[in-house]
Chains A and B, each alone.
Chain A
Amino acid sequence: MSDRLIMKLRVVGAKLTTPDVLVLDLRHPKRPALPAWTAGAHVDVMVPGGVRQYSLWGDPEDRSRYRIAVKRETAGRGGSKWLHEHATEGLELHVSAPRNHFDLDGQVRPCVLVAGGIGITPIFAMARALAAVGADFTLHYCARSAAEAPLLDDVRSVCGDRLTTWFSQEGRRLDVNALLAQSAGAELYVCGPLGLTAAVETAIDAQGFPVERYHREHFAAPSGAGFVPEAFEAIIASTGRTLHVPAHRTLLEVLRDNHVVRGSSCEIGVCGSCECDYLSGDVIHRDAVLGLKARGARLMPCVSRARGVLILNL
């Protein structure tokens, strides 16, 4: 389920929603309807030298355009900076069909949505979907100030009094412990910087909140500081071929060198493009996509490794 069609889309709207967040509207120049998507989905956007993932925040019912919001990351890899400088009306952008690793898990329970900054994009799509079916939800939106909260007006108009804002410049900070204590029985969806998800996860541990009802999306894979990669062997099950993966190279690179075809995109373990089945092995999972259950049979070769011998179902 990992390969996605890449389309040449046209920027039909480019507008700042905050001083450092650019909203882009994208249309297909030839087709009236873009591939369908659900709340929580993201697209890959090709930028010089790489690929970036952006969540869709518009209305999934409106198949005529995709709406993304790009935060200028001054310390980033350069993709968002390039988009801020070049994405104006008329620009052609190469964009993948959407994929979703962060979808709403049924809607039987009330939902508590928590967004930090630009993390509002998938969370807003979820709020819109929940509001559309009259589901019970609340949205907690954390940002430095109202002026720095992307899409705030749109979020307000969709959520009404189900929205609570937490602007630190006004001295209001979300108390995740208190929120969790009030959220027993709810599904919890969180998207934001690592500081926010880490605080939520600490509170989850402390309070024994059921982990299967916690859903999060990372902007970046866990850094894994201190991780020392070691060499291992990968066997291709269909041919019996053994490939040596040296400590300084990724499994994905070694597969590619040996003409084992894998799609890939982010290559930092967040997009899920290069997902691969394995039959046996002591895998060191380092991605931010696969859930615990999936990790028993699948891995992301761009970041994940193994100890000893790994048998790939390829």
Chain B
Amino acid sequence: MTDKTSVKQIEPFAHPAAQAAIGVEGGTTGWKGELLHIHIAPAASYEMEELSKATCVAGRGIEGDRYFLGTGTYSPRPDVREITLIEQEALDALARNDPPLQEGPVVLAPEEHRRNLTVRGVPLNHLVGRRFRVGEVILRGGRLNFPCKYLENLLDRPLFLPLYNRSGLNCGIEKGGTIQPGDVIELLD
């Protein structure tokens, strides 16, 4: 399962979504965000574990994570999954039931949403086809994340609709290094 050949990652800017977004004007600039939490899981369905520091490997993922190891639920499918991010602001909106599309507030803790990085002040929906840095690590936005029934099943909570359009961003790692909560996140181009 840890055989490198089983890991099928698409170079983020080769993804059709990023291809279409590159060169298109727009996207907010001048923001400065913060890394709040880092989580990884050793294999599909395993509980996410919080890290105080993580090693990102270019073209591979976060050391120890299921998509680095090729043991993730979606590992057999070629995709952009080296590292995934979600906005704390989206989780806050779910927690206040905003918009009120489901029965009530949905509290999704950082270890529950199964994205690797929880960030604040980062407009993830604007970063497809863009390069940005998390501390010393450089990421490339490949495609928007999309909520899955798998997560809904796993947590036994309605999440598909609440997460729709704010489910986060799937990225590739252009330049690896070490990241830790508190790291500054900034747009590069």
Contact = CB atoms under 8 A, between A and B. Distances in A.
A210 B74 CA distance: 44
A263 B45 contact: yes
B153 A96 contact: no
A261 B76 contact: yes
Contact of B77 (A2, A3, A259): A259
Nearest to A1: B153
Given A8-B47, A96-B45, A3 B153 contact: yes
Q: Name the interface size band of chain B.
A: 10 to 19
Contact of A5 (B47, B76, B77): B47
Nearest to A261: B73
A7 B156 contact: no
Contact of A4 (B43, B45, B74, B76): B45
B154 A5 contact: yes
B153 A261 contact: no
B155 interface: yes
Q: Chain B binding site: helix, strand, loop or mixed by DSSP?
A: loop
Q: Chain A binding site: helix, strand, loop or mixed by DSSP?
A: loop
Contacts, number: 34
A5 B45 contact: yes
A2 B153 contact: yes
Contact of A3 (B47, B74, B76, B150): B150
B79 to A, nearest CB: 11
Interface in B74-105: 74, 76-77
B164 interface: no
A6 B46 contact: yes
Interface string B150-174: 1001111000000000000000000
A-B interface, 3 closest residue pairs, ranked by CB to CB distance from nearest: A3-B153, A259-B76, A6-B46
Given A5-B46, A261-B77, 11 more contacts: A1-B153, A1-B156, A5-B45, A5-B154, A6-B45, A6-B47, A7-B46, A7-B47, A96-B45, A259-B77, A261-B73
Interface of A: 1-8, 94, 96, 259, 261, 263
16 contacts: A3-B150, A3-B153, A4-B45, A5-B46, A5-B47, A5-B154, A5-B155, A6-B47, A7-B47, A8-B46, A259-B77, A261-B74, A261-B76, A261-B150, A263-B44, A263-B73
